Amino acid sequence: MTRPVLLTGASGALGRQLAPALAAAGLTLRLTDIAPFPDALAANASFTRADLEDGVAILRLAEGCGTIVHFGGVSVERPFEEVLGPNIRGLYHIYEAARREGARVVFASSNHTIGFHERKVTLDADCPFRPDGFYGLSKAYGELMGRLYWDKHGVENVNLRIGSSFPRPVDSRMLSTWLSYADLCRLVLRCILAESTGHAVIWGASDNSRTWWRRDHRGRIGWAPADTADVFAAELEGKLSGNPVSERYQGGAFCAIEYSRKEPSPADPFAD
């Protein structure tokens, strides 16, 4: 019998998609967020309002859980001090709870961990991190924490480098990065149900022919996307931001926030 699943960030846009989908799959859910949960709760779900920075609260919520699906924290680019608490200290609390309970972590990482790779490059999951802001940096930290807790404590973790998960793509960039809500829900469910994962990284994108991302560890969980952004190509092709920095890099608009270089950084991050 599958142990309960703790879902953080349950009141956020993606958490509100995951909660009913995972409940419909028959999982016992413990939902939590710093904000109230705005939707009706399934019979097999409960909600507790909690702050990720409250380590004791996180430990209590995780008691007896087999998986922690961690979608909580700051989810957009913000100043460092706003990111620090929930995304750095809060993640530590998640992993300490997982270590104590012998639970797997499914971590909502981001394409912004690699945002300063140029769009002409196709990446595998083991590519170097090139975060495009403090948010992306915090997600790279999260993936490295997963690596540490796997190597040191045997805590299984799946790091989902989510592209752009919205009801539908809205611009040309999302023809490469879009992840449908249905593909997201199927992906997370497979992360929970897979027999074993080790430390894994999976590109969170639908089956988009314009993708910049290829090899990852999805074979470990038996997931393949069913949807594609290609059906929106005719209406979105050429719908650009007009910002040359945003259009050069995979991270898009996040790369342009407070960008102050006079010339683009080298494609090789260690080049002179």
Rounded Cα distance, 138 and 222, in Å:
28
Which of the following is catalytic: 95, 135, 149, 249?
135
Instruction: Answer yes or no: are the C-beta atoms of 150 and 98 closer than 8 Å.
Output: no
Active site residue 259: no
SS3 199: strand
E strands present in 54-208: 67-70, 104-110, 157-162, 199-204
Token pair for 205: 């994108």
Task: Spell out the residues 6+ positions from residue 122 whose beta carbon is closer than 8 angstroms to its own.
Answer: 212, 213, 214
Helix (H) or strand (E) holding 118: none
Instruction: Answer yes or no: are the C-beta atoms of 239 and 255 closer than 8 Å.
Output: no
Active-site positions? 135
